[in-house]
């Protein structure tokens, strides 16, 4: 009998922990409008930002889960809306033949990895010229919320 009480306590704590995670998939998909409710997995991204450049100083990390528009990015709701509207094209690199201003925006670099539209994605961001600065600012909602980087050139 002594064993039943600890087992019941463990089960109760486990269930309480699961309830604290947030709405279930069924609740998140009520109405069918939430990302990932159409059968295509919702975007799940991890972002690593180096304020002083990659391999220089400590990185700042964030995550984004679009089924619930949650994560510790700058603006999860705006980020998920951007990804829903543009899909993988939102993370497309600057075209190789783009004509960019020779404007340096700083040493900041970031990498975004994860799944989007059912595909694995990787995008590298920097602020090395006008085109990359524009891309950085367009994707600012995906960057870590407490990142010490200017969002406007």
> Average pLDDT of 20-24?
39
Spacing of C-alpha 136 from chain mean position:
14
Token digits for 12? 């109760």
Are 109 and 53 a contacting pair, CB within 8 Å?
A: yes
Residue 40 confidence (pLDDT): 60
Res. 148: pLDDT tops 80: no
* Side-chain half-sphere exposure of 80, counting CA atoms within 13 A: 21
Residue 42's pLDDT band (cuts 50, 70, 90): confident
Delimit the domains of the chain by residue range.
Answer: 26-142
Are 39 and 8 a contacting pair, CB within 8 Å?
A: no
The second-level CATH assignment, the architecture, of 26-142 is: 2-Layer Sandwich (3.30)
* The model's pTM: 0.71
Residues 59-74 have pLDDT tens digits of: 999 999 998 888 999 9
């Amino acid at each position: 009998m002594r064993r039943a009480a600890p087992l019941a306590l463990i089960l109760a704590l486990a269930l309480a922990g699961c309830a604290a995670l947030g709405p279930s998939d069924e609740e998140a998909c009520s109405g069918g409008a939430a990302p990932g409710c159409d059968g295509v997995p919702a975007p799940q991204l991890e972002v690593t930002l180096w304020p002083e450049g990659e391999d220089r100083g400590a990185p700042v990390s964030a995550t984004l889960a679009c089924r619930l528009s949650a994560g510790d990015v700058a603006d999860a709701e705006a980020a998920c809306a951007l990804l829903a509207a543009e899909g993988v094209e939102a993370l497309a690199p600057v075209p190789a033949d783009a004509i960019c201003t020779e404007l340096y925006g700083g040493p900041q670099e970031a990498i975004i990895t994860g799944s989007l539209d059912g595909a694995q994605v990787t995008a590298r961001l920097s602020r090395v010229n006008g085109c990359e600065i524009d891309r950085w600012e367009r994707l600012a909602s995906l960057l870590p919320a407490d990142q010490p980087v200017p969002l406007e050139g």
